[in-house]
Structure 1
Amino acid sequence: MPKALHHKRSSSAASPYSKPAAKAQSNAIFKMNTDIGQHVLKNPGVAQAIVDKADLKQSDIVLEVGPGSGNLTVRILEKAKKCIAVELDPRMAAEVTKRVQGTPAGKRLDVVLGDVIKTDLPYFDVCISNTPYQISSPLTFKLLATAPAPRVCILMFQREFALRLFAKPGDKLYSRLSVNAQMWAKIDHIMKVGKNNFKPPPAVESSVVRMVPKNPRPNISYEEWDGLLRICFVRKNKMLRANFLGTTSVMQLLENNYRTYCAQNDIALDDGPMETTNGVDALMEIENHNGEKDAWNGFNGEVDDDNNDETMDLDDEDDDLPAFFKEESKLKLLKGANRKKKGKVHELVREKVRSILEDKTQLADKRARMCDEGDFLKLLYLFNQEGIHFT
């Protein structure tokens, strides 16, 4: 009887212990979600340097934003009393919990699952964060608004955002963010971090900054301060005169706020129309001051600094146009001007603004990108003294 044929097992047969299957399983579990800024810091030297810069004490409670797999967390727990880790991804929350589970450090780790911007944060002394780039700005101002203020924050940001945080007047990246952040905190650059120190590598370079909130806080309203800066920096390369007097919607906003202030403080206003002579004043209302573009889009608007205005030239007429049509055209211009004509309250507010910019501060011809914190504080004080507010 012939022997049964035996087929040799192929070395490439599927097996739960084969390398390809194990590798695929690993990738499926730990694939990073870069859409929510998951770039894990893999360089232990950089992680240790960040924690060392915080100068932690044994009694400190540390807030860590985005712990990821816990490379910073385990170093924080070596020095601090407690670590509160806020993580958006449940997989990473489980991973960092598992990493210290069963160790003495595990009892000192409190993982909060959720969005740090929408979460009510408990008390903490220090914040350390490898910050997801998408929440850099809101996280910065949430930390600065925290009461009581943390002692220090060591934060990893995209390089350009970090440069904007501590930019000085005259720098290319000097902006409303720079003035706002530096009003409420002292900010220093600590180190640069290359993209190859992360897994997966991000598309941009990073920097670590130290942010020390001022204590006590400046005794000013944040809403008032930020409202003034939004107007000043709506076109940071234009002169302040243009941003205020040359922007119709800004003047309308200030007029409305002034009316509200007067109503709340029982101040009587003469709200009659301005007297005009032969329609000359009405014609002058057609154009903005210095022909500047009305670019203000409200407190949340964005404006292109390079846009130019198309101004109306009243003297540019066609000599071949019949006299009848010339007269009709002038009448239309006068009617349009009269519709735009402002009352006495508008002129009062306009004169207050002009006096502050030109007479009291001499900042009318200065650009916002060249003004320092003292200049903006002086403007805010004088505007408020005249009853003009920005909220």
Structure 2
Amino acid sequence: MLRKTRPIPSFLAPFTHQQHTLRKLRTKSNNRYTRKIHDHDHDDEQRIRKSNDNQEDKIHFYKSKGQHILTNPRILDSIVRKSNINPDDTVLEIGPGTGNLTLKLLEVSRKVVAVEIDERMVNVLNKRVAESGFQDRLTVIRKDALKTEFPRFDLVVANIPYGISSPLVAKLVYGANPFRSATLLLQKEFARRLLASPGDSEFNRLAVNVKLVADVEFVMDVSKRDFVPCPKVDSSVVIIRPKAEIPEVNLEEWWGFTRTCFGKKNRTLGATFKQKKKVMELLRLSKKIGLNSESIVNADSSDCDEDDDDDEERGVHEDCNSSSCLEAETSSFKEKIVEVLQSSGFEDKRPSKLSNEELLQLLSLFNQAGVHFHHQAEPKNGAAAYSS
């Protein structure tokens, strides 16, 4: 049954009208205030977007090369603020594009070194920086960031092209240049892998190798709509801070070891290391290490051997090259590997659930038993940290 609306008593009408008027005034005032804030942000965003729109008339952005220009001024300001840049800092920016982030970095730092391979972008960047009066504080290196040697810098702030994220992160964290931090805008999925911890579904060799030498902090997610042209996926900002102290480990050994373990990260270590192909591969590597060590020890005494001894030793090596000898050697080496895994309690464990401390412990036990994962004594660069 519908109720009839009661008429407002005549003595309440003036108060009701007054409340309605005040409510309208408050709404207008709030809307006006909100509109002012929105208009201010909108003007900044429109100014940056207009600048990029003007550049788009002249430049075609290649999505295949990861050329996505960040245009949201609030995100740009937040990235600069989170980077904690000091007035006397030199900032390395990789892939500056048309300079939206570069201009904001120049406002708060002593110098910016921008590495950009696309000459068209460099021309636009130089023009915009000159118009802003910062040309004396900008150095542009027009080369491939993966192939060029970086000059000295204090920190990195960059919107990295998606296609070079892994090797570039490796070059930074395992490079010769010390730096305070790297604030990087990365593909969201890549950032999640970088941030993953043991037990997470995303935990992988990338996270293991980076976290050996650095700490990674999540900052914020960035919508794909904040880029021109719009990419297919969202992005995330992370900060990488190199550790003051890193474990004493041969990096080539570590990279080879993690490559073996994380080839099938959810398989038990026992199942991985008992494979005949893997056993023979490790046997060859370990024999190279042994031969290199013997050649150093015996270098001075090699000329003192008698011819008869040489003939006898040659005969022994010839016998050991037979298939039966190789089979016995492989079997013995496999037993050594299994003994290390069983005695340390790692046989039934999975790499995806192990911490770096546990992995370092296992690698040390393998090396002590004469099992090695790389025949080079010294690391050359960080590329091996992520190669499959």
The TM-score by the shorter chain falls in which range?
0.7 to 0.9
Partner of 2:358: 375
Q: Distance in 2 between matches of 1:375 and 1:251?
A: 22
Alignment gaps of 5+ in structure 1: 1-23, 275-337
Preserved CA contact (<8 Å) 1:357 1:363: yes
1:207 aligns with 2:236: yes
* One of 349, 355, 372 as aligned partner of 2:333: 349
Q: Secondary structure at the match of 1:91?
A: helix
Conserved 8 A contact 1:82-1:108: yes
Note if 1:249 corresponds to 2:277. Answer: yes
* The one of 83, 94, 100 aligned to 1:65: 94
Summarize the alignment of residues 260-275 of structure 1 with structure 2, pairs less than 5 Å apart. Answer: 260-266=288-294
Q: CA deviation at 1:216?
A: 3.1
Deviation at 1:172? Answer: 0.7
The structure where helix makes up a greater share of residues is 2
Q: Is residue 286–residue 373 contact of structure 2 (8 Å, CA) maintained in 1?
A: no
Q: Does 1:365 align with 2:316?
A: no
TM-score, reference length from structure 2: 0.74
C-alpha deviations, 1:92-138, integer Å up to 9, x for none?
11111111115542100001111100111111110011010000000
SS for the counterpart of 1:384 is helix
**Whole-Å separation in 2 of the counterparts to 1:239 and 1:272:** 37
Match for residue 254 of structure 2 among 225, 231, 234 = 225
Aligned residues: 303
Matches within 5 A, 1:316-335: none
2:190 corresponds to 1:161 = yes
Q: How many Å apart are 1:197 and its aligned residue?
A: 0.6
CA contact (8 A) 1:51 1:76 kept: yes
Q: Is the CA contact (8 Å cut-off) linking 1:271 and 1:343 kept in structure 2? A: no
In the superposition, the TM-score normalised over structure 1's length comes to 0.73
Instruction: Look up the match of 1:84.
Output: 113
User: Distance in 1 between the 2:135 and 2:110 partners?
Assistant: 12
Per the alignment, residue 44 of structure 2 pairs with none
Which residue of structure 1 lines up, in the alignment, with residue 286 of structure 2?
258
Whole-Å separation in 2 of the counterparts to 1:76 and 1:211: 18
The residue type paired with residue 114 of structure 1 is K
Instruction: Return closer, same or farther for 1:49/1:252 CA change in 2, 3 Å cut-off.
Output: same
What residue in structure 2 maps to residue 185 of structure 1? 214
Q: What is the SS of the residue equivalent to 1:346? A: helix
Structure 2: gaps of 5 or more residues: 1-52, 299-312, 375-388
1:357/1:364 contact within 8 Å kept: yes
Contact 1:271 1:344 in 2 (8 A): no
Partners of 1:350 and 1:95 in 2: how far apart? 61
Deviation of 1:271 (Å): 7.2
The amino acid that maps onto 2:359 is F
SS at match of 1:186: strand
- C-alpha separation in 1, matches of 2:147 and 2:240: 21
Deviation string 1:153-210 (CA, Å, 9 cap, x unpaired) is 0001111110000101111111111111111110011000000010111000100000
Q: Find the counterpart in structure 1 of residue 39 from structure 2.
A: none
Q: Return the alpha-carbon distance in structure 2 between the equivalents of residues 226 and 214 of structure 1.
A: 18
